[in-house]
Structure 1
């Protein structure tokens, strides 16, 4: 606490706010809340994945 009082000009300047924001971002980093949705038409085939899809190829 004494360090913050002694260095209040630096801590609350642009550089200090930037560094504190980086530290806060790493501490409070959360999981992504994105989700995938898919709509399909009549008699259609739909494939959905979070990565690559190979259709019609043999798995090695």
Structure 2
């Protein structure tokens, strides 16, 4: 407790706050990556992607020019 009183200016300066937040971040960091989950019913078609999905039906380009 005495150390905190002697170093109160350093603790609440930019360097001290950064160090404290960095230490807290190490212990509270979420180690899970991006996770996707999909629920579907019977006889359903589901498409899930982390990016864009382009679907072409019957070989047509649906009026879009490339």
Unaligned ranges ≥5, structure 2: 39-45, 50-66
Q: Segments of 4+ in structure 1 off by > 6 A?
A: none
Unaligned ranges ≥5, structure 1: 41-45, 49-60
1:30 & 1:36 partners in 2: Cα distance?
A: 16
> C-alpha displacement at 1:19, in angstroms?
0.4
1:3 matched residue in structure 2? 3
Partner secondary structure for residue 35 of structure 2: coil
Q: Aligned pair count?
A: 42
**RMSD of equivalent CA atoms:** 2.6
Structure with the greater relative contact order (CA < 8 A, sep ≥ 6): 1 or 2? 1
Partner secondary structure for residue 5 of structure 2: helix
1:12 matched residue in structure 2? 12
1:36 matched residue in structure 2? 36
1:3 & 1:30 partners in 2: Cα distance?
A: 31
